[in-house]
């Protein structure tokens, strides 16, 4: 099943122009994050007050911020922070969600009830509010930010995983594996989960976008990365004070956030369309 | 699809209708209203129990003192009509204004004065400004209904100046009895405006006191809006949503000064903004380390480039425009010297310290803190940054027992305009605003000597010595003194921007 899915999905994906643009954006974004030191000669955290609030020039194409730091350098290094928050946050959610969701779907009964009601409670909060509450409890900072984003994304993963596990667990080959006498764990890991990968991959891609946006939002409120870390949301928040005098301070970090979020969303959309067999003939 | 569009259209129309209707009701209210956009929320509306000027400012709309300072810093009568010191300096007698009533109808008299001062002098109540008066007032005596006598602990000449401090307000004794500590949310004074409501985190409203004893207020109500975001404050001012905005960010001042709708009042103040150092913690217990930190920070660049010259480099532990001020020899910006001093003191590069800052309380405070952070990193510290909401920040600093603060940005503007109150609260052992936990015998002795000296020359010399000593012992990173920037609509007249960093609204008026 998985083997058959890949080539046809790839073909469908390549035909989808939006998806290709999304991939290009994500690749660019990841490349910028990885190559940061090679892309700018400036130190993103070292102020030079003589250049404070300077508008874009040839030497500093995006201008300088309120402490004279090069905004381009801050955005480039900021990509690392966002990407890290996006990946680690989603990673935490992925691990937590897959474990809880598969237990819930596979065993059913009271295990299912307890886990899913707990997830329902978490889903009852608006997701940003939940992240905000978690960070407030843990305290501001980048590590806690990633934890908060991870925790608040667990319910969506666990629900998707549960649904997929439910649809797969009564298939003949699972029955067969059970008849042979394989353990529950082995059936789950070796036979069920591999066949649930498509929706998980799609969700993970989309959640990276959500994670980046939430991280920016929390940093905007001062709960995320602390100065002088070049975090896009924090840059946007600080630049806001100079919106009238020096609009470039807030504009460029805002565009950077938009770029990252849009890239992952387009990528995720494309993946969904490509991996969903029901859309095969459209 | 078409159904969705129709639905969207209906929704948009409904929204438009709602906004039009709400706009109508908004402009419908009668009377003149002043909206004051203030960066932080007052902590309490009881000036006896707070230490921050935003609280004092709002409080001063509703409360009065026996005497007060006018704009030229001259002492003028308020609830007292005249006063006289005894020849030996051991007591002061005040004659009170007659026919004054508190907002709740209680008559103002000598008993009210005694009740208010007995309250602040009561050590059990632990009011924030207890030590201001306890230092020199022994007792308060009712001579007759309209005469009151203050007995001193030692010959003390500056009592009237100290009674002009915002903490010298007179509460309604009936209201004190009724509310106790909750007077802070239910203030009752004699001032030109009376309290209407306080919606936490949003606004405080005061309304005109129609039975005020003096010249009555010209506007019917003042709404103090809490607007932490500097940009929003200025936008509110420009759109007419606010009439007064305080403070205005340095980066907006030049632009607003060109506007034909609003103006910016820029006035000197007696405030210093400093970076406090908890001197009980290692390595800050070593004066060498504190001096090194003073050499490490480029104050001139901060004043020029962040404050855009709306301030001056701080040259004494006492702010300028205070009586007794003596400028000292500056710590020049010299990171190499700083590194060398740190090495001599045995501070290893990479030593972790935390820096706390408010955001929006003082002109460009957060930006200044970031610049200081970078300067300290440059000489080898690893500085962790923490930004606080103002009232939480004060509450946290007040819980000194925890003692886990290290570096903190704060300001100090002595509301008496005098060297004693400019230095004593910050540097005397155990004093209320001594968040540095500084305790030094030489400093304590000089502070005591300055307070009890009766000869003016001797006082001046004592404070000069004290400033020199503190400057060298450096219990803080001396940063800058700051100017006040108040955004005012051109429709507004009569706002008083006082040198002691207060805004007075009693004569404010607004044309339609």
Domain shared by B423 and B440, yes or no: yes
Cβ contact A241–B255 (<8 Å): no
For the cut 80, the answer to whether the pLDDT of residue B214 exceeds it is yes
Topology of the domain covering A71-275 = MetI-like fold (1.10.3720)
pLDDT of amino acid B1:
43
Task: Look at residue B213 and tell me if it is in a domain.
Answer: yes
Chain B positions touching A140 (Cβ under 8 A) are 386
Ordered DSSP codes for A117-181: HHHHHHHHS-HHHHHHHHHHHH-SSHHHHHHHHHHHHHHHHHHHHHHHHHHHHTSHHHHHHHHHT
pLDDT of amino acid B29:
46
Q: Which residue among B231, B369, B386 places its CB closest to the CB of A241?
A: B231
Report the C-alpha gap between B319 and B332 in whole angstroms. Answer: 19
Instruction: Please say whether the beta carbons of B510 and B492 come within 8 A.
Output: yes
pLDDT of amino acid B395:
87
What region does A108 belong to: left with phi over 0, alpha with psi -120 to 50, or beta? left
For the cut 90, the answer to whether the pLDDT of residue A88 exceeds it is yes
Cβ contact B251–A242 (<8 Å): yes
pLDDT tens, position by position, A30-78: 999 999 999 999 999 999 999 999 999 999 999 999 999 999 999 999 9
Measured over all CA atoms, what is the biggest interatomic distance in chain A, rounded to whole angstroms? Answer: 76
Report the C-alpha gap between B434 and B438 in whole angstroms. Answer: 7
Phi, psi of A55 (to 5 degrees): -70, 165
Chain A positions touching B373 (Cβ under 8 A) are 227-228
Report the C-alpha gap between A10 and A25 in whole angstroms. Answer: 18
For the cut 90, the answer to whether the pLDDT of residue A226 exceeds it is no
Domain shared by B401 and B336, yes or no: yes
Task: Look at residue B19 and tell me if it is in a domain.
Answer: no
Task: Look at residue B348 and tell me if it is in a domain.
Answer: yes
**ipTM (interface pTM):** 0.82
Which residues lie across from B5 on neighbouring strands? none
Report the C-alpha gap between B276 and B407 in whole angstroms. Answer: 6
Domain that holds residue B503: 28-243+491-512
- Search chain A and give the residue with CA nearest B366: A238
Report the C-alpha gap between A148 and A138 in whole angstroms. Answer: 8
Cβ contact B229–A241 (<8 Å): yes
Q: What is the mean pLDDT of chain B?
A: 91
Task: Look at residue B249 and tell me if it is in a domain.
Answer: no
Interface test with A, best of B371, B479, B485 (most A CBs within 10 A): B371
Chain B positions touching A50 (Cβ under 8 A) are 301, 305
Domain shared by B202 and B276, yes or no: no
Domain shared by B217 and B117, yes or no: yes
Cβ contact B306–A50 (<8 Å): no
Domain shared by B293 and B191, yes or no: no
For the cut 50, the answer to whether the pLDDT of residue B26 exceeds it is no
- What Rg, from alpha-carbon coordinates, does chain B have? 25
Domain shared by B495 and B456, yes or no: no
Domain shared by B505 and B441, yes or no: no
The answer to whether residue A241 neighbours chain B at the CB level (below 8 Å) is yes
Task: Look at residue B6 and tell me if it is in a domain.
Answer: no
The CA angle A135-A141-A143, to the nearest 5 degrees, is: 85
pLDDT of amino acid B22:
46
Domain shared by B160 and B91, yes or no: yes
Strand positions, DSSP E, B283-433: 311-313, 352-358, 382-388, 407-412
Number of domains chain B is built from: 2
Domain shared by B396 and B276, yes or no: yes
pLDDT of amino acid B229:
86
Chain B positions touching A225 (Cβ under 8 A) are none
What lies within 8 Å, CB to CB, of B310 at 6+ separation is B250, B253, B266, B363, B482, B483, B485
Domain shared by B230 and B274, yes or no: no
Task: Look at residue B99 and tell me if it is in a domain.
Answer: yes
Go through B355-365 and write b for each residue having 16 or more CB atoms within 10 A of its CB, e for each that does not.
bbbbbbbbbbb
Task: Look at residue B162 and tell me if it is in a domain.
Answer: yes
The sheet with strand B476-482 has its strands ordered as B311-313, B476-482, B272-277, B407-412, B352-358, B382-388
Angle formed by the axes of helices B335-344 and B287-296, to 10°? 160
Nearest partner of B193 among B231, B150, B223, judged by Cα: B223
Nearest partner of B395 among B73, B83, B128, judged by Cα: B128
Domain shared by B77 and B209, yes or no: yes
Instruction: Please say whether the beta carbons of B19 and B209 come within 8 A.
Output: no
Question: CATH number, domain at B142?
Answer: 3.40.190.10
The answer to whether residue A3 neighbours chain B at the CB level (below 8 Å) is no
Task: Look at residue B97 and tell me if it is in a domain.
Answer: yes
pLDDT of amino acid A75:
96
Domain shared by B397 and B460, yes or no: yes
Interface test with A, best of B39, B227, B228, B231 (most A CBs within 10 A): B231
pTM of the model: 0.83
Which residues lie across from B222 on neighbouring strands? B34, B206
pLDDT tens, position by position, B296-315: 999 999 999 999 999 999 99
């Amino acid at each position: 099943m998985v083997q058959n899915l890949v080539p046809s999905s790839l073909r469908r994906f390549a035909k989808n122009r939006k998806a290709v643009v999304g991939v290009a954006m994500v690749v660019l974004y990841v490349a910028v994050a990885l190559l940061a030191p090679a892309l700018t000669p400036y130190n993103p955290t070292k102020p030079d007050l003589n250049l404070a609030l300077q508008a874009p020039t040839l030497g500093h194409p995006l201008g300088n911020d309120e402490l004279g730091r090069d905004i381009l350098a801050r955005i480039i290094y900021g990509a690392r922070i966002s990407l890290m928050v996006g990946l680690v946050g989603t990673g935490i959610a992925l691990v937590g969600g897959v474990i809880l969701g598969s237990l819930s779907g596979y065993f059913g009964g009271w295990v299912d009830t307890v886990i899913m009601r707990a997830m329902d409670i978490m889903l009852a909060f608006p997701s940003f509010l939940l992240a905000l509450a978690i960070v407030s409890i843990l305290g501001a900072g980048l590590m806690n930010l990633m934890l908060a984003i991870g925790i608040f994304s667990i319910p969506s993963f666990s629900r998707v995983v549960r649904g997929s596990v439910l649809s797969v667990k009564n298939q003949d080959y699972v029955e067969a594996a059970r008849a042979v006498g394989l353990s529950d764990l082995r059936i789950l890991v070796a036979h069920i989960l591999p066949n649930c990968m498509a929706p998980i991959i799609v969700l993970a891609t989309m959640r990276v976008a959500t994670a980046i946006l939430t991280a920016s939002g929390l940093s905007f409120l001062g709960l995320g990365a602390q100065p002088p870390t070049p975090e896009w949301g924090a840059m946007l928040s600080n630049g806001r004070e100079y919106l009238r005098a020096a609009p470039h301070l807030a504009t460029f970090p805002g565009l950077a956030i938009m770029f990252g979020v849009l890239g992952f969303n387009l990528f995720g959309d494309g993946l969904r369309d490509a991996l969903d067999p029901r859309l095969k003939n459209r | 699809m078409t159904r969705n569009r129709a639905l969207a259209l209906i929704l948009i129309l409904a929204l438009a209708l709602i906004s039009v209707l709400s706009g109508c009701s908004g402009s419908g209210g009668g009377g003149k209203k002043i909206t004051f956009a203030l960066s932080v929320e007052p902590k309490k509306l009881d000036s006896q129990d707070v230490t921050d000027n935003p609280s004092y400012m709002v409080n001063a709309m509703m409360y009065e003192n026996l005497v007060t300072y006018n704009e030229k810093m001259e002492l003028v009568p308020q609830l007292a009509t005249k006063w006289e010191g005894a020849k030996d300096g051991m007591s002061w007698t005040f004659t009170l204004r007659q026919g004054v009533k508190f907002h709740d109808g209680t008559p103002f008299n000598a008993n009210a004065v005694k009740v208010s001062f007995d309250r602040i002098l009561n050590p059990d109540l632990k009011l924030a400004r207890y030590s201001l008066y306890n230092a020199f007032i022994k007792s308060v005596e009712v001579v007759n209904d309209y005469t009151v006598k203050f007995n001193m602990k030692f010959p003390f000449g500056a009592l009237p100046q100290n009674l002009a401090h915002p903490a010298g307000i007179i509460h309604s004794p009936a209201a004190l009895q009724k509310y106790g500590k909750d007077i802070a949310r239910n203030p009752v004074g004699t001032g030109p405006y009376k309290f209407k409501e306080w919606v936490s985190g949003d606004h405080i409203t005061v309304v005109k006191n129609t039975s005020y004893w003096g010249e009555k207020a010209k506007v019917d109500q003042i709404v103090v809006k809490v607007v932490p975001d500097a940009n929003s404050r200025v936008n509110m001012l420009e759109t007419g949503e606010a009439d007064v905005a305080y403070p205005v960010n340095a980066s907006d001042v030049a632009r607003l000064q060109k506007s034909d709708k609003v103006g910016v009042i820029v006035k000197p103040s007696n405030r210093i903004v400093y970076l406090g150092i908890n001197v009980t913690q290692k390595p800050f217990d070593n004066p060498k380390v504190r001096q090194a930190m003073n050499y490490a920070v480029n104050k001139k660049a901060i004043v020029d480039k962040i404050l855009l010259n709306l301030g001056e480099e701080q040259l004494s532990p006492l702010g300028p425009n205070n009586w007794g001020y003596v400028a000292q020899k500056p710590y020049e910006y010299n990171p190499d010297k700083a590194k060398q001093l740190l090495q001599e003191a045995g501070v290893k590069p990479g030593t972790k310290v935390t820096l706390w800052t408010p955001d929006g309380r003082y002109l460009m405070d957060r930006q200044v803190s970031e610049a200081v952070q970078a300067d300290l990193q440059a000489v080898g510290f690893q500085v962790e940054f923490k930004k606080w909401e103002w009232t939480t920040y004060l509450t946290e600093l007040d819980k000194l027992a925890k003692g886990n603060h290290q570096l903190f940005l704060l300001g100090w503007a002595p509301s008496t305009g005098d060297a004693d109150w400019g230095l004593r609260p910050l540097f005397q052992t155990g004093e209320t605003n001594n968040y540095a936990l500084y305790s030094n015998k030489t400093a304590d002795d000089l502070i005591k000597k300055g307070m009890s000296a009766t000869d003016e020359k001797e006082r001046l010399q004592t404070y000069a010595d004290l400033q020199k000593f503190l400057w060298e012992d450096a219990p803080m990173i001396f940063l800058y003194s700051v100017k006040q920037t108040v955004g005012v609509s051109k429709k507004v007249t009569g706002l008083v921007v006082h040198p002691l960093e207060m805004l007075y609204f009693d004569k404010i008026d607004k044309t339609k």
